[in-house]
Amino acid sequence: MQNGEIAFYLLSAGAITFALLTITRKSAVVSALMLVLTFCFLAALYLTLSAQFLAVVQVAVYAGAIMVLVLFVIMLLNLESEDIHVSKNWKAVVGLLAAMGVLAQVLAMIFMSQDKFPKTISPNAAILGTTESVGRTLYTAYSFPFEMASLILISAAVGAVVLAKKRLT
Amino acid sequence: MVPLSHYLTVSAVLFMIGTAGVLFRRNAIIIFMCVELMLNAVNLTLIAFSQFLGDQTGQILVFFVMTVAAAEAAVGLAIVISLFRNKQTVDVSKVNILKW
C-alpha cells in the first residue's frame, strides 16, 4: 500500500470513529468536542483530495466558528446530560433502522454505478484546489452567487438576533 | 491510488451516522450537530467528485454549502435559545405543541 492509501484509510477510520462518538456521548459538550475532531479529520481527507482551500475553510469555519457558537449555546443553557436508552425506545430503534436503510440505498447506488466512475484523480486536481484557482472562479463566473451568499449571512445574523432577543408569549 | 467509490462509501457512512443521530437523539443541540455532520458528509462527496472529474464547480458548491451552514448555525442556535427561554428544555420530545 502506498502512503496516500494508508493516510486515507487511517483518516476515514478516525472520522467515522469520532462521528460515532459524537452521536453516542451523553453530554452535549463531549459530543461537540468529538464533532470538532470529526471535522478536523474531514479537513485532512479534503487534503488527500488536494482541495487545500476547502480544507482550511473547513477548519476555520466548521471546527472554528460554528462549533464555538455551539459550545457557547451549550454553556448559556447549562444543559444536563440526556440518558440514551435505544433498546427501550421503539422510536429510536425505528430511527436506527431507517438510517441503515439510507446507508444500504446509497451503498447500492455507489456499487451499481462504480464502473462509470473515473478511475484516477484528475491530473489537474492539485491546481483546481488552490486558493488562487477557487478564488478566481468565485470572483468571475460565480460573482453573483458570491454576493448573494453575503446577503444570506447578513439576513441570518439579523434573524438570529431577533429570534434570540425577543421573548415570545 | 484510492478509488472514488471508497471516498463515497466513507461519505455514505458519515451521512448514515448523522441520520441516526438526528433520529434517535432528543437533545435539540445534538440533533443540530448531527445535521452539520450530514452536510459535511455531502461536502466530502462533492469534493471527491470534483477532483476526480477535474471540474471545479463541485468545490464552489461546497463553499456555498459552508456559507449556508454558517447561516443555519446562527439561526438554528437562536431558535434553540428561544425554545429554552419558553420551555426551559431542549428535549425535542417535550416540545410538541405543533404535533397533531
Q: Are B78 and B33 in contact (CB under 8 A)?
A: no
d(CA B40, CA B37): 5
Please give the pLDDT value at position A124. 86
Average pLDDT, chain A: 88
Please give the pLDDT value at position B26. 84
Q: How far is B60 from chain A (nearest CA, A)?
A: 7
Burial A103-135 (b: 16+ CB within 10 A, else e): beebbeebeeeeeeeeeebbeebeebbeeebbe
> If we measure between CA atoms, which residue out of A75, A46, A74 comes closest to residue A59?
A46
pLDDT band at A87; cut points 50, 70, 90: low
Please give the pLDDT value at position A18. 95
What are the domain boundaries of chain B?
Answer: 4-89
d(CA A69, CA A74): 9
What are B73-98's pLDDT values in tens digits? 999 999 999 888 888 888 888 888 88
State the residue range of the domain holding A114.
85-121
Residues A70 and A1 in one domain: yes
- How large a percentage of chain A has pLDDT more than 90? 59
> If we measure between CA atoms, which residue out of A120, A18, A49, A155 comes closest to residue B68?
A155
Domain count, chain A: 3
pLDDT band at A83; cut points 50, 70, 90: low
Residues A140 and A115 in one domain: no
Region of A168 please: left (phi>0), alpha (psi -120 to 50) or beta.
beta
Residues A54 and A116 in one domain: no
Chain B hits for A6, CB-CB cut-off 8 Å, are none
Please give the pLDDT value at position A114. 85
Q: Are A16 and B9 in contact (CB under 8 A)?
A: no
Which of the residue ranges A82-86, A139-143, B80-84 would you say has the lowest mean pLDDT?
A: A82-86
Q: How far is B38 from chain A (nearest CA, A)?
A: 10
Residues A3 and A55 in one domain: yes
Within chain B, which residues score under 70 in pLDDT? 100
CATH value at residue A64? 1.20.120.1200
C-alpha cell at B2: 484510492
pLDDT (mean) for A27-43: 93
**Residue B68, phi then psi, degrees to nearest 5:** -65, -35
User: Does A93 score more than 70 pLDDT?
Assistant: yes
ipTM for the whole complex:
0.93
Please give the pLDDT value at position A3. 85
pLDDT band at A131; cut points 50, 70, 90: very high
Residues A62 and A11 in one domain: yes
Chain B hits for A77, CB-CB cut-off 8 Å, are 29, 80-81, 84, 90
Please give the pLDDT value at position A33. 94
Closest in A4, A117, A163 to B78, CB measured:
A163
Please give the pLDDT value at position A104. 94
User: Does A167 score more than 70 pLDDT?
Assistant: no
The residues pairing with B27 across neighbouring beta strands, listed in sequence order, are: B91
User: Own/partner pairs for B54-58, CB < 8 Å, 24+ apart?
Assistant: B54/A122, B54/A123, B54/A124, B54/A125, B54/A128, B56/A128, B56/A133, B56/A134, B56/A137
Residues A169 and A147 in one domain: yes
User: Does A168 score more than 60 pLDDT?
Assistant: no
User: Does A119 score more than 70 pLDDT?
Assistant: yes
Give the other-Cβ count within 10 Å of B79's Cβ. 16
pLDDT (mean) for A6-14: 94
The domain B4-89 having CATH identifier 3.30.1540.10: the answer here is no
Closest in A95, A103, A137 to B60, CB measured:
A137
Residues A107 and A146 in one domain: no
Furthest C-alpha separation in chain A: 62
